[in-house]
């Protein structure tokens, strides 16, 4: 069998003591020869079931996901041979269960093929653990701030915290944030202090919209000391200063510049925590920009609750009686789904006319009033591709501040396979086999004349595709 042949490659590795190898690696940091010997030893020991040796080797390797020429990792070898203790150890050390070898197999599929029931159980349960799920929190979803909703109506507290020297203000103009770039060209938010912003607030014809983002510390590399994690807890606000000239902001901080959003991918340039904060800020300011007048009667509206409510100035307006969604920030839910064929071997992906050449992605569409997530998935898939969907599973979600969507990621199990494309929505839609998708996901087809590629890893579509690759078709 193929797997047996692959395993023979690591039966005869040199028997250099592990302790010696670890010492040599520390003496020669990054030495390719030493790292390769450690990697080969790890693969051999995982295959043979030597728990003690694997433990020592993991202490000397920075990358626990090393693989051989065929793409086999230590987790795959241990899974193939049923070494439960080693699988547990590798999972604890953070081995990636979604990696595939050159045959398109994950560790779970290998264990399933060789009927290693204990290993199958371990890998499936690991994929459901809360800590593992936390690792899949999508970009724009890492917001460290406590939104402090209980403080939004406390006018005295808001007045005091606004002038606190530690309070940070993020400036936006026409929905674009003011940012700065470090020496390595990385993008960061550029917070201003109250003393800095107060110097030009009086010059604006209209007071800027101010939104309390929350309390906390946002991890960033903008501080010269680099010790951003030790910053004090502070309040964060977003200010819409669209009437402010960029030169005025640069007089206060010469390094600041207004980010261009002509390319939507520009919003994906931030570090994770900063991305979460900018997503909140941009969505809130976009809502204020679009809801300047009462949707119910057309009268002017005033801002309340630290930016989280608008109130119609017409006292007898219906919106002032009871709770109405016209008075509070809106989020538009959209379903996005990876559609799996009935036999689990293929996924359905589509492309729009505006996509770059060769790019395919998950199908998606806005939810409608009175519709469940599951029904939205089934409707959108059928409308765009003609495919009927049965079971729908939730995977994860992603805030999408363009301007204010919530992408609800799902795994949809198809009942049919015949495709009928809605040409108004899609240019093309196809079933792609797992092996082809896995290779494209790992960048192994860059030299092909018609390469297949997907949205960047910071997009939830990428994570849904990756999640399918890590699934075993026998467990669908």
Structure tokens of 143? 């917001």
Asked if 284 and 354 sit in the same domain, the reply is no
More reliable by pLDDT, 233 or 22: 233
Q: How far out from the chain centre does Cα 200 lie? A: 36
In the block, tokens 């599973």 appear at 393
Q: How far out from the chain centre does Cα 336 lie? A: 14
**Which is it for strands 405-414 and 332-340: parallel, antiparallel or unpaired?**
parallel
Q: How far out from the chain centre does Cα 233 lie? A: 25
Asked if 55 and 168 sit in the same domain, the reply is no
Residue finishing a domain among 134, 167, 187: 134
pLDDT for residue 266: 85
Structure tokens of 447? 């030299």
392 pLDDT above the threshold of 90 = yes
User: Number of C-alpha atoms within 13 angstroms, CB side, residue 310?
Assistant: 25
pLDDT per residue over 319-340, tens digit each?
A: 998 887 778 998 999 999 999 9
Q: Is residue 8 within 8 Å of residue 48, measured between CB atoms?
A: no
Residue 307 lies in a domain: no
Residue 30 lies in a domain: yes
Q: Is residue 466 within 8 Å of residue 442, measured between CB atoms?
A: no
In the block, tokens 């606004």 appear at 162
Asked if 337 and 431 sit in the same domain, the reply is yes
pLDDT band at 144 (very low <50, low <70, confident <90, very high): very high
E strands, 255-327, where? 257-258, 301-304, 309-312
pLDDT for residue 186: 86
Q: Smallest Cα–Cα separation from 218: which of 286, 263, 270?
A: 270
Task: Compute the average pLDDT of residues 163-167.
Answer: 96
Domain containing residue 243: CATH number: 3.90.79
Q: Is residue 339 within 8 Å of residue 437, measured between CB atoms?
A: no
Q: Is residue 145 within 8 Å of residue 236, measured between CB atoms?
A: yes
Asked if 254 and 376 sit in the same domain, the reply is no
Task: Compute the average pLDDT of residues 34-38.
Answer: 84
Residue 28 lies in a domain: yes
Residue finishing a domain among 134, 165, 181: 134
Evaluated on CA atoms 53, 57, 63, 67, the torsion sign reads negative
Asked if 247 and 165 sit in the same domain, the reply is yes
Residue finishing a domain among 104, 134, 164: 134
Asked if 356 and 451 sit in the same domain, the reply is yes
pLDDT for residue 27: 37
Q: Smallest Cα–Cα separation from 91: which of 113, 108, 103, 68?
A: 108
- In the chain, what is the straight-line distance between the N-terminal and C-terminal CA atoms, in Å? 25
Residue 323 lies in a domain: no
Q: How far out from the chain centre does Cα 446 lie? A: 24
Q: Is residue 238 within 8 Å of residue 285, measured between CB atoms?
A: yes
Residue 145 burial class via C-beta count within 10 angstroms: exposed 0-12, middle 13-18, buried 19 and up: buried
pLDDT for residue 165: 95
Domain containing residue 437: CATH number: 3.90.79.10
Asked if 162 and 79 sit in the same domain, the reply is no
Q: Report DSSP letters for 354-377, one per residue.
A: TSPTTB-B-EEEE--TT--HHHHH
Residue 317 lies in a domain: no
Asked if 244 and 276 sit in the same domain, the reply is yes
Task: Compute the average pLDDT of residues 61-75.
Answer: 89
The whole-angstrom separation of Cα 431 and Cα 348 is: 5
Q: Structural domain of residue 449, as residue ranges?
A: 332-475
The whole-angstrom separation of Cα 45 and Cα 469 is: 26
Asked if 282 and 157 sit in the same domain, the reply is yes
In the block, tokens 């199990």 appear at 413
Task: Compute the average pLDDT of residues 200-209.
Answer: 80
Residue 140 lies in a domain: no
Residue 233 burial class via C-beta count within 10 angstroms: exposed 0-12, middle 13-18, buried 19 and up: exposed
Asked if 119 and 227 sit in the same domain, the reply is no
Domain containing residue 84: CATH number: 1.25.40.20
In the block, tokens 């196809």 appear at 430
SS3 state at 69: coil
Residue 298 lies in a domain: no
Asked if 108 and 18 sit in the same domain, the reply is yes
Residue 318 lies in a domain: no
pLDDT for residue 474: 37
Q: Which residues are paired to 303 by β-bridges?
A: 310
Asked if 153 and 285 sit in the same domain, the reply is yes
pLDDT band at 265 (very low <50, low <70, confident <90, very high): confident
Domain count of the fold of the chain: 3
The whole-angstrom separation of Cα 107 and Cα 80 is: 8
Question: Reduced to 3 DSSP states, what percent helix, strand and coil does the chain have, rounded to the nearest 5?
Answer: 40, 20, 40
Highest mean pLDDT among 69-83, 431-445, 458-472: 69-83
3 pLDDT above the threshold of 60 = no
């Amino acid at each position: 069998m193929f797997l047996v042949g692959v395993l023979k490659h690591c039966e005869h590795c040199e028997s250099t003591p592990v302790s010696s190898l670890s010492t040599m690696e520390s003496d020669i940091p990054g030495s390719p020869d030493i790292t390769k010997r450690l990697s080969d030893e790890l693969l051999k020991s995982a295959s043979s079931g030597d728990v003690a040796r694997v433990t020592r080797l993991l202490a000397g390797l920075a990358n626990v996901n090393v693989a051989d020429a065929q793409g086999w990792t230590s987790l795959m070898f241990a899974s193939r041979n049923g070494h439960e203790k080693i699988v547990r150890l590798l999972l604890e050390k953070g081995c990636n269960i979604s990696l595939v070898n050159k045959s398109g197999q994950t560790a779970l599929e290998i264990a399933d093929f060789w009927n290693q029931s204990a290993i199958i159980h371990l890998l499936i349960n690991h994929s459901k653990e809360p800590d593992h799920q936390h690792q899949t929190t999508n970009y724009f979803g890492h917001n460290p701030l406590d939104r402090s909703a209980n403080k939004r109506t406390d006018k005295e507290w808001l007045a005091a915290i606004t002038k606190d020297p530690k309070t940070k203000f993020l400036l936006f103009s026409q929905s674009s944030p003011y940012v700065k770039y470090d020496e390595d060209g990385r993008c960061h938010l550029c917070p201003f202090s109250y003393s800095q912003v107060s110097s030009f607030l009086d010059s604006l014809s209209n007071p800027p919209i101010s939104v309390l983002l929350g309390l906390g510390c946002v991890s960033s590399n903008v501080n010269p000391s680099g010790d951003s994690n030790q910053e004090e807890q502070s309040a964060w606000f977003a200010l819409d200063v669209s009437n402010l000239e960029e030169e005025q902001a640069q007089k206060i901080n010469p390094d600041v510049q207004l980010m261009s959003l002509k390319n939507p991918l520009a919003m994906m340039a931030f570090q994770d925590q900063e991305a979460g904060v900018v997503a909140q800020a941009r969505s809130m300011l976009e809502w204020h920009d679009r809801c300047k007048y009462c949707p119910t009667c057309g009268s002017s509206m005033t801002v309340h609750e630290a930016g989280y409510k608008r109130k119609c100035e017409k006292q007898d307006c219906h919106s002032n009686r009871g709770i109405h969604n016209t008075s509070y920030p809106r989020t538009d839910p959209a379903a996005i789904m990876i559609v799996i064929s009935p036999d689990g071997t293929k996924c359905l992906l589509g492309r729009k006319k505006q996509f770059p050449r060769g790019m395919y992605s998950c199908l998606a569409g806005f939810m409608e009033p009175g519709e469940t997530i599951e029904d939205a998935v089934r409707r959108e898939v059928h409308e765009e591709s003609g495919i009927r969907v049965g079971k729908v599973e939730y995977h994860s979600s992603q805030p999408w501040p363009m301007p204010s969507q919530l992408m609800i990621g799902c795994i949809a199990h198809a009942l049919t396979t015949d495709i009928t494309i809605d040409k108004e929505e899609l240019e093309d839609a196809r079933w792609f086999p797992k092996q082809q998708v896995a290779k494209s996901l790992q960048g192994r087809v860059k030299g092909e004349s018609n390469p297949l590629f997907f949205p960047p890893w910071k997009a939830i579509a990428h994570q849904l595709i990756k999640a399918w690759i890590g699934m075993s078709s026998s467990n669908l």
